[in-house]
Amino acid sequence: MNDLTFGTLIAVFEETFGRGLFWAMVAVAYVYVLIRDRAVSWRKFLLAQLSMPLGAIAAGGAIGTAVLVYTVHSLVRPPSESG
């Protein structure tokens, strides 16, 4: 395994946790982010939408990849306190 790609990481996590549990954890993290932020960040949403074709190509699923990108981006960069 010479290449470590995003698709490879998703496949490894799906094998480790099982497909259903992995995507359930992503969904729970997404709901947590929405509750914590109390709103949808449209900038993060746009970034997630732009990542959908990459997710479809990587066989991660377009919608699943968009949710994953939004969630990871929100967890890494929490909302600013100034609005």
Distance CA 78, CA 56 (A): 27
Give the confidence band of 18 by pLDDT, cuts at 50, 70, 90: confident
Distance CA 59, CA 45 (A): 20
Examine the pLDDT at 7 and tell me if it is beyond 80: no
Examine the pLDDT at 24 and tell me if it is beyond 80: yes
Q: Per-residue pLDDT averaged across 1-14, rounded?
A: 77
Give the confidence band of 55 by pLDDT, cuts at 50, 70, 90: low
Q: Where are the domains of the chain?
A: 6-76
Amino acid symbol at 73: H
Structure-model confidence comparison of residues 17 and 6, the more confident one: 17
Structure-model confidence comparison of residues 72 and 54, the more confident one: 72
Residues contacting residue 75 through CB under 8 Å, at least 6 positions apart: 29, 33
